[in-house]
Amino acid sequence: RREVGAGTAWYLATSLEDASWVDLAGRLCAQAGVATDPALAAAGVERVVRAGAETTWTFYVNHGATDVTVPARGTELVTDTVVRSELVLPARAVRVLREEHAR
């Protein structure tokens, strides 16, 4: 571990099992104040959220070889469908959701 400026760099010289990697990444993210979802990470799903005053954009990347269902709502832009509660992420696919905030 090395602190650099306002951040911290880590070097890990080992191969971890999936559960250990998820645990370590979760602890490092918590220390950095980054919100995570261990269930998504364990399923091989990456989620990035960008929120503005009027709209929230959620980007999902399924790195896994199987479909994954996640809780979600908004308009899915790749397939142009409205998602009310769950989104099926096909294997090795990307989906983008737009959610408009109430005014």
pTM of the model: 0.70
Instruction: For the chain, give the percent of residues with pLDDT over 70.
Output: 99
Each domain of the chain, given as residue ranges in start order, spans 1-36, 44-103
pLDDT in tens, 79-90: 999 999 999 999
pLDDT reported for residue 23: 84
Pick the CATH number of 44-103 from 2.60.40.1180, 3.30.43.10, 3.20.20.100, 3.40.50.10790: 2.60.40.1180
18-33 as b/e, with b when 16 or more CB fall inside 10 Å?
Answer: eeeebeeeeeeeeeee
**Residue 41, pLDDT above cutoff 80:** no
Q: CB 47: neighbour CB atoms within 10 A?
A: 17
User: Six-digit token pair at 28?
Assistant: 């490092």
